[in-house]
């Protein structure tokens, strides 16, 4: 049995069982992971259609969105062989985009650790790509910020109790988006997040202290640059 088939069957199992740990491990992504490199080698020996057909035959009946996400994840792994940070980022952004519909359905709180990890990688890869000399609107940080905004909106819309809510990842995503906005010097866009968090009655105190501190740090910088000194002192 091929590695691609084995991988697809494990994804199906994790998805159907809502197994957070396994699902997170299966979408773990590092360019020096032996299992990722082994799959990459197999992918490079197979035609695109054979890969897609194999994944679709195993996953489409379970979830079309899952099949699309897995196909794009495999394309991402394949892009590693190029060694081009820009190409790897584009492949990752395509995968991340296709993961959003998978996350944007009911009862997917178990996927929060996955989307948090992927969001951190999205930012890391965007910055790596931008270090190749990209400037202005060509910077991949713009794409990363836009995708993070979509994930933020999905999380904010979940009004379930926090223990089973996608809101668990809200400030992780917010802090990453703020990092992008400050890097791009588009800090005015932080206001949308700040306003929506206020309107959504999100209690910062319910989140990990590290996320609270980071959010307050960016909030202080935002109000300082905006000239709102009373809020800075708060």
Using only C-alpha atoms, the chain has a radius of gyration, in whole angstroms, of 19
> Which pLDDT value is given to residue 33?
79
pTM as predicted = 0.93
Write the DSSP assignment of 112-123 as a string of letters.
HHHHHHHHHHHH
> Which pLDDT value is given to residue 223?
86
Query: Is residue 77 a contact partner of residue 87, using CB atoms and an 8 Å limit?
Result: no
- 187-206 pLDDT tens trace: 999 999 999 999 998 999 99
> Which pLDDT value is given to residue 32?
76
Read off the tokens for 234: 């708060």
Q: 107 by DSSP, 3-state: which?
A: coil
- 67-105 pLDDT tens trace: 999 999 999 999 988 889 999 999 999 999 999 999 999
Query: Is residue 72 a contact partner of residue 95, using CB atoms and an 8 Å limit?
Result: yes
Please name which of 163, 142, 166 lies closest in space to residue 152, comparing C-alpha atoms: 166
CA distance 91 to 97: 10
CA distance 94 to 5: 22
> Which pLDDT value is given to residue 185?
92
């Amino acid at each position: 049995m091929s590695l691609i088939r084995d991988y697809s069957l494990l994804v199906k199992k994790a998805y159907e069982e809502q197994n957070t740990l396994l699902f997170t491990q299966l979408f773990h992504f590092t360019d020096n992971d032996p299992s990722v490199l082994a799959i990459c080698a197999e992918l490079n020996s197979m035609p695109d259609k054979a890969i897609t057909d194999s994944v679709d035959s195993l996953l489409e009946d379970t979830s079309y969105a899952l099949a699309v996400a897995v196909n794009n994840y495999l394309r991402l792994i394949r892009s590693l062989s190029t060694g081009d940070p820009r190409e790897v980022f584009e492949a990752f952004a395509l995968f991340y985009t296709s993961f959003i519909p998978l996350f944007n359905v009911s009862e997917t709180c178990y996927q929060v650790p996955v989307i948090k990890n992927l969001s951190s990688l999205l930012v890391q890869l965007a910055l790596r790509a931008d270090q190749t000399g990209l400037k202005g609107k060509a910077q991949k940080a713009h794409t990363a910020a836009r995708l993070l905004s979509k994930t933020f909106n999905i999380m904010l819309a979940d009004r379930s109790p926090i223990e089973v809510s996608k809101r668990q990842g809200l400030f992780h995503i917010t802090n990453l988006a703020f990092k992008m906005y400050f890097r791009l010097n588009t800090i005015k866009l932080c206001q949308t997040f700040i306003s929506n968090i206020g309107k959504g009655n999100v209690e910062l105190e319910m989140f990990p202290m590290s996320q609270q501190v980071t959010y307050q740090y960016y909030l202080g910088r935002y109000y300082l640059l905006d000239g709102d000194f009373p809020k800075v002192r708060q």
